[in-house]
Chains A and B, each alone.
Chain A
Amino acid sequence: MTDHRPSDPRTTALHARHEALGASFTDFGGWLMPVRYTSDLAEHHAVRTVAGLFDISHMAEFGVDGSGAGAFLDYALAGAISSMRVGKAKYSLVLDDSGGIVDDVIVYRIAERRFLVIANAGNRDAVGRAFAARVEGFDAELDDHTDDMSLIAVQGPIARAVVETTPGIVDVTPSFADLGYYAWSSGSFDDAPLFVARTGYTGEDGFELLIPNAAAPALWDALLAAGEPLGLVPAGFAARDTLRLEAGMPLYGHELSRDIVPAQAGLGRVVAVDKDDFVGKSALAAVVTPDAPVLVGLVSEGRRAGRAGYAVFDAADGAAPVGEITSGALSPTLGHPIAMAFVSPSLTEPGTELFIDVRGTRIPATVTALPFYRRNS
């Protein structure tokens, strides 16, 4: 796993911008990324009420080209990819032979014979290796564009107004207004090719803009200059984590791993079980594990949040844990603690009363359907 993870974390093409904005940094998947610029809570609330600007250039981009590109992705991923329409995006999973989750990805169909796959930074090598091994026998070529491309996300209720008013962004087709959720447009910024997707990881409306590294700082500046008068603020990974948690979105290494099969994480719908063959299919069919823990949401009162790794019990004096929290925080939007946890399948009914062991104190928590937060659309 060290192919792209040198001892010193890598920096994005926007690093100098983050430093100038006073960001604190954290190592994320081998990359030094902004954790916050001013305040986690202020950045979180800005995304919910106005808009936030994120550098997500650490994400990995793979191009897949060729007459067999769709067939290859049908085999390499859990979803039905070859039937996607050009212009659309789809959330999918890379599974291993045991049905475990190697990564979660978003696939964009660029053309009949061309796809873009965006993977998590920390899984770049794992996905690259899996794709390289699986492409054999297919008429498809793989390219890793990660080192050349930057990815900037604008997320929040006014995200569209921000991108529409940013000077230099031109020829966006379909237009921002006509672009549907989980669809993409092509355009340009200055003279650089721009790829715009109406996708995101915060639960808000928003856009993700992919651009060559050389043009990224100017695009960042232009978005900020156009958006700041509207209320746009740069937002870091601390806000990103609480936003995605409220939106019930899984994070690799927390809710997703090779030890988890899709159905456990509530992602059974992502798996196209009717496909001819794909990596992990036979395992998913064979492995019937009625006792396997299932991902649920937990809400509680007060201000003390259960955190990743905390044990869950079915009674205040329960001796054996019935589950474990994978992510948890005091929800900035909702004002009470929220958590995602894997629990015994008999305890997943919304309304079920459980207890979280918060550093020696059992705190009552109620099972709830995900997501915790849903925007008014």
Chain B
Amino acid sequence: MTDLTALKYTAEHEWVALDGDTATVGITSYAADKLGDVVFVELPAVGSTVTAATVVGEIESTKSVGELYAPLTGEVIEVNDAVVDDPSLVNADPFGAGWLVKLTVDPAAVAELLDRDAYISLTGSAE
């Protein structure tokens, strides 16, 4: 079970878990619920460099299309192929098995992101 209070968040509904200079990124359960059942995920290529606050992927539900923003600038070192094969993992376990990408980032930049309380007050939702 992921400790949600240890995560950082963006206003675009990504979460970030930092381990050294590796940031694991996913979308929040709030965003997953709003999208509905996710049926297609497109993620950035491993080895590519992404820039904070730019669109780097897409998350499609039956109903609509959501964009994945890079929460931080960095290099993509891993993508979650399991989610590409089974997009429903985003709904089933958004903070766990439904993670999307891992980035190598400047750990200091993570401090700029929202903490859990700030994210909750932004969405008005517990998650």
Contact of B62 with A307 in the complex, beta carbons under 8 Å:
no
**Contact present for A304 and B40 (CB under 8 Å):** yes
Please state if A242 and B62 are interface contacts (CB–CB under 8 Å): yes
Name A's interface SS.
mixed
B91: which of A39, A303, A307 is its contact (CB, 8 Å)? A39
A307 / chain B contacts, CB cutoff of 8 Å = 64-65
- Count the B residues whose beta carbon is within 8 Å of the partner chain — how many? 14
**Closest partner residue, chain A, to B87 (CB atom):** A303
Q: Mark A17-42, 1 if CB is under 8 A from B, else 0.
A: 00000001000000000011001110
- Out of A39, A242, A303, which one reaches B40, CB within 8 Å? A303
Q: Is A81 an interface residue (CB 8 A)?
A: no
Are B60 and A330 in touch, CB under 8 angstroms?
yes
Asked if A329 is at the interface (CB within 8 A of a chain B CB), the reply is yes
A357 at the interface (CB under 8 A from B): no
A332 interface contact, C-beta 8 A: yes
Chain A: number of interface residues, binned into ranges? 10 to 19
CB distance from A70 to the nearest CB of B (A): 41
Cβ of A96: which chain B residues have Cβ within 8 Å of it? none
Q: How far is the CB of B112 from chain A (nearest CB, A)?
A: 28
Contact A304:B60 (CB < 8 A) given known A40-B37, A238-B36: yes
Give complex CA distance A359, B61 in Å: 15
B35-53 interface (Cβ within 8 A of A): 36-37, 39-40, 42
Q: Are B36 and A305 in contact (CB under 8 A)?
A: no
Within residues 50 to 106 of chain B, which ones have a CB less than 8 A from any CB in chain A?
58, 60-65, 91
With contacts A24-B33, A39-B91, A303-B39 known, is A330 near B65, CB below 8 A? Answer: no
B60 near A332 with CB under 8 A, answer no
A24 to B30, CA, bound (A): 12
Q: Determine if A241 is an interface residue (Cβ-Cβ < 8 Å).
A: yes
